């Protein structure tokens, strides 16, 4: 398995990670936990060392799942989790993705510490490898957040920290207090808002980039079209980009990927991931899946070498296709700093 270092942090992980949210949250039907344990351990067997979760996924159930699955291989893996939503201690599982944003943000120092202690217990670890602020909390200065996590690092409870969906100035302010290892934000062929101002800052400061949804929440795989039924409870039912009309219009992006894939004896998913991987050596995508067959397909992207000319041609071609539909409804988009 190829390895990549997240910026200049010293944190080296598999070049492709695994986003675990869908194993217990967000996409409608919740998979069987025992089956997901097998997928997680199968990922380790195939060389994946980087796993992404969050306390809000479930809530809490996704961290418990990773804790169970990865405990036997703890010394082989890097686990990232996140804090930053207002989660009552007695909240049970079954929280939908869209409702999580209604809970409100909370990155007060005491809340961060409480989230850290809970994650350590649920993940069955003595230290959190990578601890992200899930969304920037406008009510708490980012310097206070960075200082609190810095203290947790000095106490040996956290190794590295990062931000999610933060803008360039927030990144600079946080990094000046406690150096960041990574920024996690949505990034793919059809979600490129991080390019203009964020990626240059990451390169300048030596911060790694961890794109989530590098396959466009499944759309860029070619596995769905305008006629695909999206089940109730699936987060995509509220996304403007996933209305039947938007999917019909956006099929042109998938058609482009299919054409490139055919020329390279690959799949659309592999081309989409290879394009993201080619952006910089400090970029580590974390596509999610609940199936080993899809995981193996995704890992095949590491063997697909797109030349600079290939990447440029694909970029130019996709830029000529207008993407229909916003990536999130306004009330969710407002929680991001991009």
Active-site residue list: 57
Evaluate whether 326 touches 333 at the Cβ level (below 8 Å). yes
Tokens standing for residue 250: 């956006």
End-to-end CA distance of the chain: 32
What is the C-alpha to C-alpha distance for residues 225 and 247, in angstroms, rounded to an integer? Answer: 6
Tokens standing for residue 308: 């600079």
CA-closest candidate to residue 318, choices 191, 184, 213: 191
Evaluate whether 53 touches 40 at the Cβ level (below 8 Å). no
Evaluate whether 156 touches 129 at the Cβ level (below 8 Å). no
- Residue in this structure with the two tokens 């409480």, named with its chain if needed: 114
What is the C-alpha to C-alpha distance for residues 81 and 17, in angstroms, rounded to an integer? Answer: 13
Residue 84 gets the label, from left (phi > 0), alpha (psi -120 to 50) or beta, of: left
SS3 244: helix
**208 vs 137, 258, 286, CA distance in Å?**
21, 29, 13
182-186 and 208-212 strand pairing:
parallel
Q: Which residues contact 180 (CB under 8 A, 6 or more apart)?
A: 7, 9, 161, 162, 163, 171, 174, 205, 207
Tokens standing for residue 296: 């193996």
**131 vs 148, 152, 229, CA distance in Å?**
12, 10, 35
Evaluate whether 145 touches 174 at the Cβ level (below 8 Å). yes
158-164 and 182-186 strand pairing:
parallel
């Amino acid at each position: 398995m190829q390895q990549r270092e997240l910026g200049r942090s010293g944190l080296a992980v598999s070049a492709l990670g695994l986003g675990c949210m869908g194993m217990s949250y967000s996409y409608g039907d919740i998979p069987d936990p025992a089956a997901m344990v097998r997928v997680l351990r199968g990922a380790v067997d195939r060389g994946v060392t980087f796993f992404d979760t969050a306390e809000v996924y479930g809530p809490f159930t996704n961290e418990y799942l990773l804790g169970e699955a990865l405990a036997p291989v703890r010394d082989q893996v890097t686990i990232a989790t996140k804090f930053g939503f207002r989660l009552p201690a007695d909240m049970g599982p079954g929280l939908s993705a869209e409702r999580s944003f209604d809970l409100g943000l909370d990155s007060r120092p005491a809340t961060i510490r409480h989230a850290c202690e809970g994650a350590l217990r649920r993940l069955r670890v003595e230290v959190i490898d990578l601890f992200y602020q899930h969304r920037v909390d406008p009510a708490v200065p980012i310097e206070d957040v960075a200082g609190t996590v810095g203290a947790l690092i000095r106490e040996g409870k956290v190794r590295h920290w990062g931000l999610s969906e933060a803008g360039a100035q927030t990144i600079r302010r946080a990094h000046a207090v406690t150096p960041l290892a990574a920024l996690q934000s949505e990034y793919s062929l059809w979600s490129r808002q991080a390019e203009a101002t964020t990626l240059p800052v990451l390169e300048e400061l030596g911060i790694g980039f961890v794109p989530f949804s590098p396959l466009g929440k499944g759309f860029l795989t070619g596995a769905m079209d305008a006629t695909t039924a999206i089940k109730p409870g699936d987060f995509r039912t509220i996304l403007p980009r996933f209305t039947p009309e938007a999917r019909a219009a956006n099929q042109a992006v998938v058609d482009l990927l299919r054409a490139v894939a055919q020329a390279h004896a690959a799949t659309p998913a592999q081309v989409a991931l290879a394009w993201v991987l080619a952006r910089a050596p400090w970029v580590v995508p974390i596509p999610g899946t609940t199936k080993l067959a899809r995981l193996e397909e995704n890992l095949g992207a590491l063997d697909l070498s797109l030349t600079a000319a290939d990447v440029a041609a694909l970029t130019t071609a996709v830029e000529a296709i207008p993407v229909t539909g916003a990536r999130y409804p306004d009330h969710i988009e407002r929680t991001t700093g991009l």
